[in-house]
Each structure stands twice: as structure tokens, then as C-alpha cells.
Structure 1
Amino acid sequence: MNSNSYFPNYFSIEDIFVTQEKVECKINTKLLQMGFLDPGAESDDLNPGKVINLPLWYIKELKVNNPYFAVDVPMIYKSVHKAVCEAETTHIELGKLHPFFYEYGRYLMPYDRNHIVGKIVFETMRQRVRHLLDISKNTNVDGCPERRLDSIENKLYEMGVRTNASYINWLQMKSRHICISEMVQEHSKKRRRALLSDEESSPQGPSKRIST
């Protein structure tokens, strides 16, 4: 997998950190012999209405409309909602609210009965992406990312700083050559493979190759 990608996967340390987060859940039905899930439980059973904290990795394995637990949306998304509506999310210190704000919200979206978390996550990124572009253009490569960025924003910021530095070096003729992007390289390889395949399947045999 591309090391620059932030999409979660089985081997992603960031994804492991996110799924270890605890989420408040309200008990919907009496659960026998499950009192150990609540450190302050006075009985061996969990009664309806009781609120306990469960790790996200366990919750995401349950059905959204499971009869046992009702997931409560964390307060951090409720507190950001006002800023999203007023288009003032650039002032929010997402890194302090939650270091994995976007990924945490992505996992919680299916359990949000009011369908607010998805809108908050989308609008927050939409409003802040321009700010990320601006600060990445005004910081050198050795500069430290701002503390108000979450994990994904930090990666985008660092990539923006490196890209901007490479562009400036190219304009100032400090770079000997421009590196071909991975996407272009992969496209070129696919094109060569297609040409070779056409030549081998042609009844006239290999023909003169087209230069790429």
C-alpha cells in the first residue's frame, strides 16, 4: 500500500489507534452476566438505561440497529457543529479535540441516527482544506505543523510543504529534473503492456513499437 495514503487498513497503526477509542453506549435490554463491562456495576447484570464505554473495534462489529446497545455520538462532533454552520472551522484545534477527528467520525457515521456526523466531517474538511493550502505555502520544509491539525490534515500539510518546496526549487532551477508521478508511471506501464499484448496477438507478428 502507498505509504502516503491515509485510508485505513489492517496494518495501519493509525487505524488501530482509532478503533481503540471508547464510545458511550446505552444499554437497551437487560444483559445477563455482563456486569463486568461496567467497572462500577453493583450486580452481575447490566440493566436497561445503563451507560457504559465500549471500544470502537467492538462496536463496529455490531449491527447498526442491534437490540443491545445504542451508540451515543461523542460530544466533540456536537461542539464542532456550531462552527461548521458559521464557517469558522479554521479556528478549531482539531488535534486537541481528537487526533483522528475524521477517521473517528467516519467509523461513527453508520451509528448516528440524526445523520449529523457525516455532514460535520465533510463540511469541516471542505472549509479547512483551503487553509491547509495557505499554511503549506507559507512554511518551509523544516517547519513544524500547527497543533490544531488532526492526523490526516498533518499528512496533507506535510505533503503540501514538500510539493511547494519542490516547485519553488524547480522554478529557481535548483532541481536537475522533474520526477514523474506514480500515476503517470503506472499509466505508461499499462500502455506498454497493452502494446506488447497487441503485437503478440497480431497475425503479422511483432511490428515496430510506438514510442511513448
Structure 2
Amino acid sequence: MPNYYDIDDILMEDEPISVVFQVTANGVGLLDPGAESNCVEKGAKVDLPFWLAHGLLTLEQAVSINPPPCFTQRTRKEIQADAACVDLRVLCPYFYELGCKIVPLVSDKSIGLFLRYAFTSRYKEVLSKSHSSSMMTMPKFVPRLTKEESRGMQTSPL
């Protein structure tokens, strides 16, 4: 459940998630841009905000959730090669928070280990840059940070 007054939590819950409908859903055709009727057929793939996908999965078992593109094998390989150079903000501004909420909902349980690896690898780089970087190199580095990482840098006791 999101923190009602936290804008970052509200924005994270609005991240689009790809789902596959496990049942035919009448009266929700507007969710599927390709639907010609007011019905979403069983097996239809639709992008929904996380909050709606989560509700349809946990309350109704009406959908199955596919892991977001930011957790693909390609992204994992990029992070393993050089975690600090990957622009996670472009992939998902709330990479860690969304990942933590996705793990119990998808069949790929390796996402949790991937999140830990990405966090520890990037944390070392963020810590190093925040203590030793000049103001000239910071503009190149900061835009790659997720919202969580940026928030951590702002609260860092320097």
C-alpha cells in the first residue's frame, strides 16, 4: 500500500507494467488500446499502472504480471559489466522500489538478487563520487541516478 502523502510513492505506483489477462474482462475495453469492444479477452497483453495490475492480481487473480523491461537479461548484463554507467533513471526512475514490489508478484525470483547486486555495485560508485568528485564531473553522473539514489545523495552528510 503506498504512502498516501508521498509523491514519490504515488509516482512509483503509476509505473506501467505489462500484464496478461487470465480471464475475459467485460466493461474494461478502454484498458486495451487494441480492443474493438468494451471487453478484454483472455490472453490479451496490456500495459497497466502498477497499482492497478497489483490489485487485479492480488484481489481477483485476473492477470499475471510480466517483469518490467528494466529487469531483463540485457539490463542485468549491462549492470554486471559496469553498474555505474547504466542510466537506471531512463529505465525506471523508481528502479529499486518497483523491484521490491515486483519480486513477490512474478515467477522470476532472481530479481531480488539482481536488485541487491545492482544496489551494492552502484552504492560504492555513488559514495565514491559524492566524496571525491568535483562540480565539473557531477553533472555527467547525477542524471543517471534513480530517484532513490538521488535522494540518498541529497541526504548524505558531507
Q: Specify the TM-score bucket, using the shorter chain as the normaliser.
A: 0.7 to 0.9
CA separation in 2, counterparts of 1:14 and 1:33?
31
For the pair 1:67 / 2:66, whether they are aligned, the reply is: no
**2-structure distance, mates of 1:64, 1:33:** 20
| Counterpart residue type for residue 120 of structure 2 | R
**2:96 — aligned with what?**
102
Gaps of 5+ in 2: none
Runs of 4+ with deviation above 2 angstroms: 59-67, 139-145
Pairwise CA distance, 1:140 = 6.0
Name the structure 2 match of 1:83: 78
Structure with the greater relative contact order (CA < 8 A, sep ≥ 6): 1 or 2?
Answer: 2
- Measured after TM superposition, the shift of residue 66 of structure 1 is 5.0
- May I ask how many residue pairs the two structures share in their alignment? 154
Quick check: 137-146 or 151-160, which moved more? 137-146
The aligned runs of 1:33-48 (5 Å cut-off) are: 33-48=27-42
Ranges in structure 1 where 5+ consecutive residues have no aligned partner: 1-7, 165-212
Aligned to 1:155: 151
Q: Is the 2:69–2:91 contact (alpha carbons within 8 Å) kept by the matching residues of 1?
A: no
SS across alignment from 1:26: strand
1:3 aligns to what?
Answer: none
* 2:3 aligned partner: 9
Q: Does 1:120 align with 2:99?
A: no
Q: Is the 8 A contact 2:57 2:64 kept in 1?
A: no
Structure with greater proportional strand content: 2
Supply the AA of the counterpart residue of 1:146: V
Amino acid across the alignment from 2:6: S
Mapping 1:179-190, distance limit 5 Å = none
Q: Is the 8 A contact 1:30 1:47 kept in 2?
A: yes
* C-alpha separation in 1, matches of 2:19 and 2:129: 39
Structure-1 separation of matches of 2:44 and 2:60: 16
Bigger CA radius of gyration: 1
Looking at structure 1, the residues matched to 15 and 95 of structure 2 have their Cα atoms a distance apart, in angstroms, of 11
Change (3 A) 1:67 1:9: closer
Name the TM-score, length of structure 2 as normaliser: 0.84
Residue 136 of structure 1 and its aligned partner are, at CA, apart by 0.6
Partner SS for 1:54: strand
2:60 & 2:84 partners in 1: Cα distance? 37
- Secondary structure in 2 aligned to 1:53? strand
Structure 1 residues 23 and 154: CA distance shift in structure 2, 3 A: same
- Corresponding residue number in structure 1 for 2:18: 24
